[in-house]
A and B are shown apart, each in its own frame.
Chain A
């Protein structure tokens, strides 16, 4: 038989559902589109600027090193994962595709580093988006 005290304790410890506010919807979208902007619109100026600088610099360095920019429907599973990483950079990726920057294929060793820089910049932006969301819902100061 279940212990009623334990059941009551579990009910008390269960996390409360977060209310859906305008900020909790807008912030992740803005943060994805413009790296660091999710923190900036919540007045976390230094954090936002540091995140923006880091992610944008990493992405631009990746392009400067002639890294490969992955496209959707690459066919290969690694290409799809590369695309998921790249698309994390949000507006930077959209701009890159629109301007036809980056390379379709890796030509030399440094370009391979560039490809990794591009993917990791997108993945870091995903982390940044999650952090901005946690601030928006009050889970993080």
Chain B
């Protein structure tokens, strides 16, 4: 099975965010909010790291 770097990173973000959301907060509402926050941070980190590498390359 071959995944692109981006799809692998998104899948990683989804699974890790679900676990972080459930385990790090108490109420269902907070769990969903924290899970979404973690996903946004993971996905955003991928884009930021990508642009940083692009800038270093050029």
Which residues of A pack against B, CB within 8 Å?
47, 50-51, 53-55, 57-58, 61, 64-66, 110, 113, 116-117, 120-121, 124, 127-128, 130-131, 140-141
CA distance A66 to B12 in the complex (A): 16
A61-B19 in contact given A110-B2, A110-B3, A141-B26 (Cβ < 8 Å): no
| Total count of chain B residues near the partner, CB < 8 A | 17
Q: Is the CB of A131 within 8 A of B22?
A: yes
Contact count A vs B, C-beta below 8 Å: 56
B:1-47 near A, CB below 8 Å: 1-3, 5, 8, 11-12, 14-16, 18-20, 22-23, 26-27
A113-B19 in contact given A140-B26, A141-B26 (Cβ < 8 Å): no
Contacts of A127 in B (CB 8 A): 19-20, 23
